[in-house]
Amino acid sequence: MTAYVLRRLAQLVPVLFIASIGIFAMIYAVPGGPVGIMLGENANQAEIDALVHDLGLDRPIAIQYFDWLGSAVTGDFGVSLHSREPVIKLIGERLPATLQLAAVATLIAVLLGIPVALASALHPGSWLDRMLSGWSALALGVPTFWLGILLILLFAVELRWLPSASRYVPLWEDPLEALRHLIMPAATLGVYVSGVLARFLRASLVSQLGADYVRTARSKGLSRGRIVRVHVMRNALLPFITVIGLMMATFIGGAVVTEAVFTYPGLGRMLIQAISTRDYPLIQGCIIVMLVIYVAINLTVDVLYAYVDPRIEYS
């Protein structure tokens, strides 16, 4: 088990190494480089030379990279070009908003996805199955940003029940106000993720329902409900854990877009704003933090799966 965890960690090294080079290099790919961004187009040569020296850009590129990497590992991503504040502080302010959105969206996705998958797997080919698979196709076929806009049109513009631009209110401070601002973005993201969830879980359930142990359980007189609850769900949810990593990728993209639609002050929206103001240290910081969260969750899921299901070979 320990060997397996170590091997999984070792596999991450090339991934993170290449990612860090890419993220480091992106600032050099911009026309004018970092100096061009900071000084604008009208800077004279003396100013440019002074800044190049101050920033240490006249040193060999490999040394600059390891210097940057050393700081980044300790959480020092530099200072935002726009607000002049430390990037890590700005990220720390926005991260709770995104995590709160993600948590509520996950809850919605699970509450929608599991019943849909169960209902359609237990009655394959029925009108219910067809309706529900149509629904999950719709959840996947309608882009998140458009679903968000339609929700705003209905609940904010027509009915005036909810605000059209969402603020971040911590759930523990004012739960009602927090939900008022959170429910539309979380539903938008949750519906989308539930489509992916329902599709995978349904497939997993259908294959388990045809297994021998289900027939055995039937023949010894267990009720159908009990078989599903006690035997099938456990076995069907197990392979499902591996899909969580895949869903996380969908989740991150969905969250960035959802935050933009609802002008919700999370990490994704800060990333997009940083890109539009060409605030490269902030862009780099946001991308690193998102990537680390993504990689960490995937690693946890893999290890958890190997732990839960002893049949998995650790190779």
Partner 1 sequence: MSEAGEGRVATVPAPSARRRKGLGPRQLLLAIGLAMVAVLGVVMIFGPQLAPYSPSATSLDALAPPSAQHWLGTDLIGRDVLSRLIVGGRTTLVITVAAVGLALAAGLVLGLWSGFVGGLTDQIVMRGLDIVFAFPVFLLAITVVAALGPTIPNLIMTIAIVYTPILARVVRGPVLSVKRWDHVEAARSVGVSEFWIMVRHVLPLVISPILVETSLTLANTIFTVTALSFLGLGPPPPDPNWGGMLAEARQFMELAPWTVIAPGAAIVFASLTFIMLANGLRDRLDVGGRQ
**Binding region for partner 1 (CB under 8 A):** 14-15, 18-19, 22-23, 25-27, 29-31, 137, 140-146, 149-150, 152-153, 157, 164, 199, 203, 248-249, 252-253, 256-257, 260-261, 271-272, 275-276, 283, 287, 290-291, 294-295
Compute the least distance from the CB of residue 138 to partner 1, in Å.
Answer: 9
Nearer to partner 1, 235 or 298 (CB): 298
Q: How far is residue 100's CA from residue 95's CA, in Å, rounded to a whole number?
A: 9
Pick 222 or 303: Cβ nearer partner 1? 303
Quick one: which of 107, 112, 148, 178 has its CA closest to 254? 148
Residue closer to partner 1, measured from CB, 154 or 230: 154
Of 137 and 230, nearer to partner 1 (C-beta) is: 137
- Whose structure tokens read 């005036």? 160
- From 60, 54, 66, 84, select the one nearest 24 (Cα to Cα): 66
Min. distance of Cβ 60 from partner 1 in angstroms?
22
Contact 215, 162 (CB under 8 A): no
Q: 33-61 as b/e, with b when 16 or more CB fall inside 10 Å?
A: ebbebbeeeeeeeeebeeeeeeeeeeeee
The widest CA-to-CA distance across the chain, in whole angstroms, is 88
User: CB of 26: closest distance to partner 1 in angstroms?
Assistant: 4
- Shortest distance (Å) from residue 147 CB to partner 1: 9
Say which DSSP state 258 is in. H
In the complex, the smallest distance separating the C-beta of residue 46 from partner 1, rounded to whole angstroms, is: 28
Of 25 and 99, CB closest to partner 1: 25
Evaluate whether 164 touches 150 at the Cβ level (below 8 Å).
no
